[in-house]
């Protein structure tokens, strides 16, 4: 498995190179001019030209790309046009809140989502099943943005239990984690239910029951473990999305995370930040997919990685 | 079985709805106690703070933050008059070429060094760098003399009546910090202002604390934090819970909901923002002045202010708002459909025509454009609303003149230093026609151009008033725009806050802030 891992990681390098090229071209080809955003509207043509020259925007695009690539190889992500701070420093600063939030949101939504899914599957067609699926449908249907604002009104403004936003104390994590995790909980509940139902219909479950094993063991050891492969895939994809930051949740709860950074930087045409973020998100997706692949082998020994 | 399920779902939803309703209507806490819970003043803004380099800032929010730590030679007071700050007094020569500033003595930078003419020199020298925004001020100076530690004589290359206004934007950094380079300026701001830098979390907040040795007496709060809260609802909620003591901007849609409740007060005043729609005067349909006047008569400005700004905007009677220097109100284009139709007929356009309107794709701007669309329909003008991302509009506006596609542009302009030239040059001067600047009406009136250029060299306020009044009269009559309104700057704050000044450009002065 070690060799497989190294091979896969090395395999990402050419992929990232292609991605870096695509990102660079896209961001430079869409309309917009960071120089105008930096200089403000009152800037004269001459001032704009001076700034453009000093930023190297007058050079041909391919030269700009190679200089970007050169910096990238040397671990230099550049300086943000907007804050004049190093992009790497900004990203690390923004990654922390996003990571914390992702962790808590994933934690609760995975536990609750899978629990609802399993309970619904086991009690198929019964009240618990309908209740579970009602929660799941609500979780998917309620827009996070709206839910966040309503919860702020109830729990922060009216009841005063938790802060409206920020990530200063442990209490400030509660509302954003709940809001962010709702959708994932719902998806996981649906997936684990259907995956569990599939497993429950398998021959080995019938065999286990025929052997006279206790129902709890049949469900947990045989059906549940086998149903996890699909569920893990879904969790992987969802975490990937979460790490790219949830712009809406970060905006509603005033969290300085990666998602907000990406949107703000795009609006400003802060090329260096956008390039670095998109490259990071691509890498992170590749990495998570790799971890998911490795987990398959752990969960189901029949799957061998070559 | 099926009925039971339905019943169950129904009961569940009903209970949920009642629970939510109950929580939402928990009675508001008693509003008697209007006492500050602590001495840490928190101001919530709608944007992130950018680079903390006073010589390179362009947005008002960052200026509000840097102004707590930095000061200029002169500043605007609350009546929009220029008054001395780090200069105790100043003189301008009759020819408008030489400015002599007498510096205030006993002023210290946060690093303990003294503010004097050497410090002024270090700052002026730094801004000779063309990539810095404040280079546009220093560029005007042909010669700078520093005869003694408290006198600075600046001679301009050519007279410019906006120079003093621009100097209100020129802040002074401690020479040692300048010498240490940009990195130091960004991370450890050091000026003469009432507050010293404490910490910054990029994307979240900047905190400053009072400078005990401030020449005008240290501020009375324990700390001051500028927090970025982009979501309107969240910002208002923070004010309600007291997590923020002061918020700007206060969304107009929420004013009625919160005003007077939970000790919340509202401060609304006329801004320096001009709202208008440029009418491409080179376009066949809009070439005739009468058509453009008809368009102005066809738009009901009262309704516009009510619909788009919930009433929180002021009517305009000139091409710039009253907060700008040398303002001269003109006879209004009062809503008058008969007159509008008559003018259209006179111009031979009674059958109407088609136009497009461009603008940013944000809700309030789209609402504004749709309003214009409805209004112009009344005189037969069929408007196609085209909202676009801000960068896309900016790029399309900057097209080469012979390839210009713009018909109407729904936009706003604010002159950051409140000078008349700044309020019109980049948007109405013939030389500001795109590409380059923003005169997307392609308005080119020789007399207006000439008056603008002449005025720059004049220092006599009386003559300036005449010149700028004439410009406003001509522009108003030529109607290269639909003159819409002027936004109001609106803040919301807890009643225990005092001494916080909100300026017409949205800048916030906290030097005298108090939490009672």
Whether the CA torsion B354, B356, B357, B361 is positive or negative: it is positive
Please indicate, yes or no, if residue B315 is contained in any of the structural domains.
Answer: yes
Q: Which residues of B touch A152 (CB under 8 A)?
A: 233-234, 237
Binned at pLDDT 50, 70 and 90, residue B31 comes out as very low
Together in a domain, B355 and B470: yes
Q: Which residues of A touch B226 (CB under 8 A)?
A: none
**pLDDT over 50 at B23, yes or no:** no
Series of mean pLDDT values for 10-residue runs along chain A (306 residues):
78 89 92 87 85 89 92 92 94 92 92 93 92 91 89 93 86 91 92 90 87 85 84 84 79 91 92 94 86 80 65
Q: Which of A236, A250, A245 is nearest to A295 (CA)?
A: A236
State whether A32 and B392 contact (CB < 8 Å).
yes
**pLDDT over 80 at B106, yes or no:** yes
Chain A residue with the nearest C-alpha to that of B415: A42
Minimal Cα–Cα distance from A101 to chain B, Å?
16
Together in a domain, B65 and B145: yes
State whether A47 and B130 contact (CB < 8 Å).
yes
β-strands B313-314, B381-388 pairing: unpaired
Q: Which residues of B touch A94 (CB under 8 A)?
A: 202-203
Together in a domain, B165 and B298: no
Together in a domain, B170 and B289: no
Chain A residue with the nearest C-alpha to that of B438: A41
pLDDT at B2: 52
Residues contacting residue A139 through CB under 8 Å, at least 6 positions apart = A182, A183, A185, A186, A187, A189
pLDDT at A63: 93
Average pLDDT over residues B29-48: 80
Question: Cβ distance B145 to B153 under 8 Å?
Answer: yes
pLDDT at A208: 86
Average pLDDT over residues B395-424: 92
Q: What is the DSSP string of B106-148?
A: S-B-TTSPBPSHHHHHHHHHHTTSTTSTTHHHHTTEEEEEEEE
Minimal Cα–Cα distance from A45 to chain B, Å?
5
Q: Which of A32, A82, A158 sits opposite B50 (nearest CB)?
A: A82
Average pLDDT, chain B: 91
**pLDDT over 60 at B27, yes or no:** no
Minimal Cα–Cα distance from A86 to chain B, Å?
10
State whether A256 and B238 contact (CB < 8 Å).
no
Listed by number, the residues of chain B in 117-146 with a beta carbon closer than 8 Å to a beta carbon of chain A are 130-131, 133, 135-136
Minimal Cα–Cα distance from B228 to chain A, Å?
7
β-strands B40-45, B246-247 pairing: parallel
Together in a domain, B207 and B307: no
Minimal Cα–Cα distance from B38 to chain A, Å?
16
Any B CB within 8 A of A51 CB: yes
Minimal Cα–Cα distance from B215 to chain A, Å?
30
Evaluate the omega torsion of the peptide bond into residue B43 and state whether it is cis, within 30 degrees of 0.
no
Question: Cβ distance B485 to B309 under 8 Å?
Answer: yes
Question: Cβ distance B186 to A80 under 8 Å?
Answer: no
Please indicate, yes or no, if residue B346 is contained in any of the structural domains.
Answer: yes
State whether A260 and B8 contact (CB < 8 Å).
no
pLDDT > 70 in chain B, percent: 94
Chain A residue with the nearest C-alpha to that of B436: A45
Q: Which of A97, A117, A114, A263 is nearest to A180 (CA)?
A: A97
pLDDT at B17: 53
Name which of B29, B233, B362, B390 to mutate to probe chain A: the one with the most chain A Cβ atoms within 10 A of its Cβ.
B233
Q: Which of B202, B228, B234 sits opposite A164 (nearest CB)?
A: B234
Any B CB within 8 A of A166 CB: yes
Any A CB within 8 A of B396 CB: yes
Count Cα neighbours of B171 within 13 Å in the Cβ-side half-sphere.
28
Q: Which residues of B touch A156 (CB under 8 A)?
A: 237, 241
pLDDT at A290: 84
Any B CB within 8 A of A253 CB: yes
State whether A256 and B203 contact (CB < 8 Å).
yes
Domains in chain B, number: 2
Three-class secondary structure assignment of chain A: CHHHHHHHHHHHHHHHHHHHHHHHHHHHHCCCCHHHHHHCCCCCHHHHHHHHHHHCCCCCHHHHHHHHHHHHHCCCCCECCCCCCEHHHHHHHHHHHHHHHHHHHHHHHHHHHHHHHHHHHHCCCCHHHHHHHHHHHHHHHCCHHHHHHHHHHHHHHHCCCCCCCCCCCHHHHHHHHHHHHHHHHHHHHHHHHHHHHHHHCCHHHHHHHHCCCCHHHHHHHHHHHHHHHHHHHHHHHHHHHHHCCCHHHHHHCCCCCHHHHHHHHHHHCCHHHHHHHHHHHHHHHHHHHHHHHHHHHHHCCCCCCC
d(CA A257, CA A92): 10
- Tokens at B300, concatenated: 């009901």
pTM of the predicted protein model: 0.88
CATH number for the domain spanning B297: value is 3.10.105.10
Q: Which of B26, B228, B426 sits opposite A158 (nearest CB)?
A: B26
Q: Which residues of B touch A165 (CB under 8 A)?
A: 229, 234, 238, 243
Please indicate, yes or no, if residue B32 is contained in any of the structural domains.
Answer: no
Any B CB within 8 A of A251 CB: yes
Q: Which of B197, B128, B193, B135 is nearest to B166 (CA)?
A: B135
Together in a domain, B434 and B502: no
Print the domain residue range for B504: 43-216+491-515
State whether B201 and A50 contact (CB < 8 Å).
no
Average pLDDT over residues B158-174: 94
- Angle between helix axes A225-243 and A271-299 (nearest 10 degrees) is 170
Q: Which residues of A touch B240 (CB under 8 A)?
A: 157
Name which of A30, A31, A50, A143 to mutate to probe chain B: the one with the most chain B Cβ atoms within 10 A of its Cβ.
A31
Average pLDDT over residues B179-186: 95
Binned at pLDDT 50, 70 and 90, residue B15 comes out as low
Please indicate, yes or no, if residue B465 is contained in any of the structural domains.
Answer: yes
Q: Which residues of B touch A159 (CB under 8 A)?
A: 23, 26
Count Cα neighbours of B47 within 13 Å in the Cβ-side half-sphere.
18
Residue holding tokens 């410019």?
A: B160
d(CA A300, CA A285): 22
State whether A42 and B131 contact (CB < 8 Å).
no
Please indicate, yes or no, if residue B17 is contained in any of the structural domains.
Answer: no
Chain B residue with the nearest C-alpha to that of A168: B204
Together in a domain, B170 and B314: no
Any A CB within 8 A of B104 CB: no
pLDDT at A304: 63
Burial class (CB in 10 A: 0-12, 13-18, 19+), A199: buried
Q: Which of A198, A217, A195 is nearest to A208 (CA)?
A: A217
Three-class secondary structure assignment of A167-205: CCCHHHHHHHHHHHHHHHHHHHHHHHHHHHHHHHCCHHH
Any B CB within 8 A of A127 CB: yes
Together in a domain, B446 and B503: no
Looking at B58-67, B276-285, B291-300, B487-496, which range is the least confident one? B58-67
Together in a domain, B367 and B504: no
Residue holding tokens 């546009």?
A: B136
pLDDT at B464: 95
CATH number for the domain spanning B197: value is 3.40.190.10
Chain A residue with the nearest C-alpha to that of B182: A84
Chain B residue with the nearest C-alpha to that of A160: B241
**pLDDT over 50 at B179, yes or no:** yes
Together in a domain, B109 and B134: yes
**pLDDT over 60 at B41, yes or no:** yes
pLDDT at A236: 85
Q: Which residues of A touch B20 (CB under 8 A)?
A: 150, 154
d(CA B125, CA B135): 10
Binned at pLDDT 50, 70 and 90, residue B328 comes out as very high
Question: Cβ distance B255 to B266 under 8 Å?
Answer: yes
Please indicate, yes or no, if residue B276 is contained in any of the structural domains.
Answer: yes
Name which of A123, A254, A255, A269 to mutate to probe chain B: the one with the most chain B Cβ atoms within 10 A of its Cβ.
A254
pLDDT at A275: 94
Together in a domain, B502 and B411: no
Torsion of CA B113, B114, B118, B124, to 10 degrees: 80
State whether A254 and B230 contact (CB < 8 Å).
yes
Any A CB within 8 A of B437 CB: yes
Together in a domain, B106 and B134: yes
Please indicate, yes or no, if residue B261 is contained in any of the structural domains.
Answer: no
Please indicate, yes or no, if residue B265 is contained in any of the structural domains.
Answer: no
């Amino acid at each position: 498995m070690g060799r497989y891992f190294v091979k896969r990681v090395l395999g990402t390098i050419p992929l990232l190179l292609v991605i870096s090229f695509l990102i660079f071209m896209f961001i430079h080809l869409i309309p917009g001019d960071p120089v105008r955003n930096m200089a403000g509207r009152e800037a004269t043509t001459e001032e704009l030209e001076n700034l453009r020259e000093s930023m190297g925007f007058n050079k041909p695009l391919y030269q700009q790309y190679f200089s970007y690539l050169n910096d990238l190889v040397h671990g230099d992500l550049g300086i943000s046009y907007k804050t004049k701070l190093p992009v790497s420093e900004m990203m690390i600063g923004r990654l922390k809140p996003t990571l914390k939030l992702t962790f808590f949101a994933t934690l609760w939504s995975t536990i609750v989502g899978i629990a609802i899914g399993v309970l619904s599957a086991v009690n198929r067609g019964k009240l618990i099943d309908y209740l579970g699926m009602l929660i799941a449908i609500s979780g998917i249907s309620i827009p996070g943005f709206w839910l966040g604002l309503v919860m702020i009104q109830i729990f922060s403004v009216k009841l005063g239990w938790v802060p409206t936003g920020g990530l200063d104390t442990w209490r400030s994590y509660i509302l954003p984690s709940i809001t962010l995790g709702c959708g994932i909980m719902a998806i996981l509940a649906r997936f684990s239910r259907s995956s569990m139902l599939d497993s429950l219909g398998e021959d080995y479950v019938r065999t286990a029951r025929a052997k006279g094993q206790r129902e709890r063991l049949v469900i947990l050891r045989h059906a549940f473990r086998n149903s996890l492969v699909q569920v893990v895939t879904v969790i992987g994809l969802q975490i990937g999305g979460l790490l790219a930051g949830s712009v809406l949740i970060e905006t509603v709860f005033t969290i300085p995370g990666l998602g907000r950074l990406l949107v703000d930087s795009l609006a400003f045409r802060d090329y260096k930040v956008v390039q670095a973020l998109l490259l990071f998100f691509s890498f992170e997706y590749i990495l998570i997919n790799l971890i998911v692949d490795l987990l398959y082998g752990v969960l189901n020994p029949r799957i061998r990685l070559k | 079985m099926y009925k039971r399920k339905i019943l169950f779902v129904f009961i569940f939803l009903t209970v949920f709805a009642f629970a939510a309703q109950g929580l939402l209507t928990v009675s508001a806490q008693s509003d008697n106690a209007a006492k500050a819970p602590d001495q840490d003043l928190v101001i919530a803004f709608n944007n992130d703070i950018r680079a903390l380099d006073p010589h390179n800032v362009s947005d008002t929010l960052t200026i509000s933050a840097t102004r707590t730590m930095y000061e200029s030679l002169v500043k605007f007071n609350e009546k929009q008059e220029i008054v001395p700050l780090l200069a105790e007094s100043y003189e301008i020569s009759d020819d408008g070429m030489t400015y002599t500033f007498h510096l205030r003595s006993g002023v210290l930078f946060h690093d303990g060094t003294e503010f004097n003419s050497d410090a002024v020199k270090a700052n002026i020298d730094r801004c000779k760098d063309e990539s810095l925004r404040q280079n546009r001020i220093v560029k005007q100076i042909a010669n700078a003399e520093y005869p003694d530690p408290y006198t600075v004589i600046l001679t301009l290359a050519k007279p410019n009546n906006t120079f003093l206004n621009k100097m209100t934007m020129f802040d002074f950094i401690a020479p040692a910090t300048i010498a240490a380079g940009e990195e130091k300026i960004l991370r450890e701001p050091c000026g003469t202002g009432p507050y010293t830098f404490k910490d910054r979390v990029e994307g979240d907040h900047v905190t400053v604390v009072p400078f005990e040795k401030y020449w005008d007496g240290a501020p009375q709060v324990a700390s001051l934090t500028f927090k970025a809260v982009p979501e309107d609802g969240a910002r208002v909620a923070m004010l309600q819970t007291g997590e923020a003591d002061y918020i700007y901007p206060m969304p107009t849609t929420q004013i009625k909901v919160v005003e007077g409740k939970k000790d919340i007060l509202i401060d609304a005043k006329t801004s320096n923002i001009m709202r208008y729609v440029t009418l491409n005067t080179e376009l066949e349909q809009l070439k005739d002045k009468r058509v453009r006047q008809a368009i102005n008569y066809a738009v009901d400005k009262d309704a516009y202010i009510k619909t788009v700004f919930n009433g929180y905007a002021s009517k305009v009677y000139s091409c710039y708002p009253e907060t700008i220097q040398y303002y001269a109100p003109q006879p209004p284009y009062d809503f008058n459909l008969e007159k509008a139709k008559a003018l259209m007929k006179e111009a031979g356009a009674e059958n109407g025509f088609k136009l497009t309107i461009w603008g940013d794709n944000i809700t309030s701007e789209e609402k504004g454009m749709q309003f214009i669309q409805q209004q112009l329909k009344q005189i037969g003008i069929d408007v196609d609303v085209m909202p676009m991302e801000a960068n896309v509009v900016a790029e399309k506006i900057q097209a080469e003149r012979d390839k210009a596609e713009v018909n109407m542009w729904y936009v706003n302009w604010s002159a950051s230093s409140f000078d008349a030239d700044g309020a019109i040059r980049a948007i109405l001067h013939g030389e500001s026609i795109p590409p380059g600047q923003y005169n997307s009406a392609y308005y080119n009136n020789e007399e207006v151009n000439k008056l603008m250029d002449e005025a720059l060299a004049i220092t006599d306020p009386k003559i300036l008033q005449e010149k700028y009044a004439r410009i406003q009269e001509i522009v108003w009559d030529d109607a290269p725009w639909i003159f819409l309104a002027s936004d109001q700057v609106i803040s919301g704050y807890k009643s225990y806050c005092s001494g916080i000044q909100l300026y017409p450009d949205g800048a916030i002065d906290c030097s005298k802030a108090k939490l009672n």
